Amino acid sequence: RTYYGEYTEKAGQYDYTTKVNVITEKGVIVKVEFVEGSNHHTDASYWNGASKWLEKEAEVLKSFEGKSVKEVKASTENTYYDNVAGATLTSNRVYKAVVAALNN
């Protein structure tokens, strides 16, 4: 099954809307991908650490793979995903969009 999730957060003067598809098989996440039009991270020119996030973006999405839907939905924080990228706000938006998808 493919689930669509969206999470919007206002940060300063900007609205960031993270859009993802979460693909599952037998209650396990097999893939998470951004949907076209996702505005999930700050413009790279604005944030000094943006290159680190952009390098790790695929790894953050991949970090959901193999996790059960129950495990991700029951989680109350995104510490693991944040540790992968070191981009707290951006990785938190991804995490919340994934949870929103699984709750649909």
- DSSP character string of 22-35: EEEETTEEEEEEEP
- Cα 55 to Cα 32: distance, rounded to the nearest angstrom: 17
What is the DSSP secondary structure assignment for residue 97, as one 8-state letter? H
Q: Give the pLDDT of the chain (104 residues) as one tens digit per residue.
A: 999 999 988 877 778 889 999 999 999 999 999 999 888 766 655 556 566 667 778 888 888 999 999 999 888 766 555 565 556 777 788 889 999 999 98
* pTM of the full structure: 0.82
